[in-house]
Amino acid sequence: MTNDYKVLYRKYRPTTFDEIVGQKYSITMLKNAVKNNKISHAYIFTGPRGTGKTSTAKIFAKTINCENPKDGVPCGTCQSCLNSNNNADIIEIDAASNNGVDSIRELINNVKIAPAYSKYKIYIIDEVHELSEKAFNALLLTLEEPPSHIVFIFATTNIESVPITILSRCQRYDFKKLSNEELSTHLRNIADKENISITDDAIEEITYLSDGGCRDALSILNQLSTSNESIDLEVVLNNYGSVSLVQIKNIVNAYVENEYNQIKTIFENLEKASVDYKVFLKKLIDQFFQKALECKEQKNNHLYLKIKDTIFELNDVINKININVDPFLLIFLILVKNVGVQEPNDDIDSVDVIDSKPLETKTVEKKDALTKSEKTPLKESKTVETVLETNDSTFENDTYLAELKKVRINNCFAQADKTLLKDSKEKWKQFNDQVSLVDTIKSIIIDMEVVLASSTINLITDAQESIVEMFNANLESIEEKYEEILKQKIHFIAVSSSEWESYKKDYVKKIKEKYVYQLLEEPIKVLKENQKEVEEKDNYEDVISIFDKEKVEIK
């Protein structure tokens, strides 16, 4: 640190347009206004604190008063430029402390007096929304017919509180929060100039804590640098922020990687007493949003949809919180609802049966057809992929499931019955109530409902497509569980609420056209008839490939 210690944000307050961090659009427009000599009588700069509104106002004032500005930049040599640090023609007023009508009246009386040595007399009114109603009215009189030498530059963090009558007479510029990149580059520059030793992850954390505000970021850097020790992430975390970017990122990464235990540990270690769950939630959603964008760019649609659903659910937490619920518990449950569920096309070796496992298990049953082959002896089973004899197993599972879905929906419509529906809804509720909270099935079925029923098939819906997908991927274990609890064998199939709407319309249309639903055979039954032959052929070929086409006897 240098000896002539100044608070960093004052020391590095920008004095030229080029030194303003971010705000490229506003700066370009203002420079162009100067270049084209199109100066308005009133400007309003609005945006969050610490985004450069007041600094920009001062630089703009200096520039429009310069006698020879070049490319929208003050010359630095004319009389107005030379006097810019103590310029009688640039008057700054903080409306937060001078908000009464008297100070505005005084201002207005002075408005009539011509500038001392510049083109314009410029009033910079900071936090203009703080003015009283009477003060605004007095100001309005001047704004309606401003003397030609007058320019007002208003700055506000709260544009909603500025009367529309004032706004309609101003050119408006919106100042944005700084991006993480803008802010961290700025922090790095200043740290280097000040010989402050700071790690990149510490800068990232400060950037995160200051939420796009330059002043807050520099205040934190300032505070931490006073000890003259090098600043690393731990120093930042010990001094600021009860929930850090690192923690939030860890949660999101654990979610993406299906690491239930890791999420649990992070939640256990959260110092809940000192974390505002709303702040926590906002940060978590922000981070998930970033991740969702990444997935979209990488065309990882499966993960994108999963994250998207989680974001919507997290966003809903605020409405669901009541005094009896620990918000962190609710957030935790939403997060782990989808964690631990295998994505299609994953390693088959890790696949296991779901229903007897607690929530901690990472592995969950795969799609119906595959699971069957895992659970039953080789001789009796055949996976769909082998039967179809193609190479892309994901495609085959999807094809099988799509076919099964089509058949079950058709068959359910063919034998649907209103009385059965009432009964099925009742039973579904009993089932839902009796499945234990630690069972992963519970997190899938909890909000689902029966919308159509025959004596053998129930059609189930959920608004979320990812839930529907998971339900259908776990059909067999859900059906087994149902049978175990209700002593009744029912086949299920799930459709999303929007799919259900179109199936209903389609049904009505078909009925009007006198269409007769025929019962269709489920795909798995058709496959079973051929499976033995196919299997033997396959085994034989496997052995051949091992022995490099030598003749091998098979019993």
Which residue ranges make up the site for Zn ion (CB under 5 A)? 66, 74-75, 78, 81
Reported as type and span, the H/E element at residue 258 is: none
Distance of alpha carbon 357 from the chain centroid: 31
Rounded to 5°, the CA angle 505-511-513 comes to 105
Residue with the two structure tokens 């006073």: 226
CB contact at 8 A, 340 and 364: yes
State the nearest-atom distance from the C-beta of 66 to Zn ion, in Å. Answer: 3
State the nearest-atom distance from the C-beta of 134 to Zn ion, in Å. Answer: 38
DSSP strand pairing (121-126 vs 150-156) = parallel
Which CB atom, from 65 or from 477, has the smaller least distance to Zn ion? Answer: 65
Residue 170 DSSP label: S
Tokens of 305: 């949809």
Which CB atom, from 84 or from 373, has the smaller least distance to Zn ion? Answer: 84
Residue 333 DSSP label: H
Distance CA 452, CA 459 (A): 5
State the nearest-atom distance from the C-beta of 81 to Zn ion, in Å. Answer: 3
Residue with the two structure tokens 């510490």: 202
Distance CA 124, CA 132 (A): 17
Distance CA 256, CA 278 (A): 22
Query: Residues of 100-113 as b/e, b for ≥16 C-beta within 10 angstroms?
Result: ebebbeebeeebee
Which CB atom, from 83 or from 410, has the smaller least distance to Zn ion? Answer: 83
Secondary structure of 110-143 in the HEC alphabet? HHCCCCCCCCCEEEEEECHHHCCHHHHHHHHHHH
Which CB atom, from 34 or from 107, has the smaller least distance to Zn ion? Answer: 34
State the nearest-atom distance from the C-beta of 69 to Zn ion, in Å. Answer: 7
Which CB atom, from 117 or from 328, has the smaller least distance to Zn ion? Answer: 117
Which CB atom, from 81 or from 170, has the smaller least distance to Zn ion? Answer: 81
Tokens of 136: 């605004």
State the nearest-atom distance from the C-beta of 89 to Zn ion, in Å. Answer: 13
List the strands of the sheet with 449-453, edge to edge.
449-453, 457-462, 491-496
State the nearest-atom distance from the C-beta of 146 to Zn ion, in Å. Answer: 23
CB contact at 8 A, 495 and 449: no
Which CB atom, from 62 or from 382, has the smaller least distance to Zn ion? Answer: 62
Distance CA 555, CA 552 (A): 10
State the nearest-atom distance from the C-beta of 84 to Zn ion, in Å. Answer: 8
State the nearest-atom distance from the C-beta of 45 to Zn ion, in Å. Answer: 22
Q: What share of the chain is helix, strand, coil (3-state, %, to 5)?
A: 55, 10, 35
CB contact at 8 A, 42 and 172: no
State the nearest-atom distance from the C-beta of 122 to Zn ion, in Å. Answer: 14
Which CB atom, from 21 or from 66, has the smaller least distance to Zn ion? Answer: 66
State the nearest-atom distance from the C-beta of 154 to Zn ion, in Å. Answer: 24
Which CB atom, from 84 or from 225, has the smaller least distance to Zn ion? Answer: 84
Which CB atom, from 119 or from 528, has the smaller least distance to Zn ion? Answer: 119
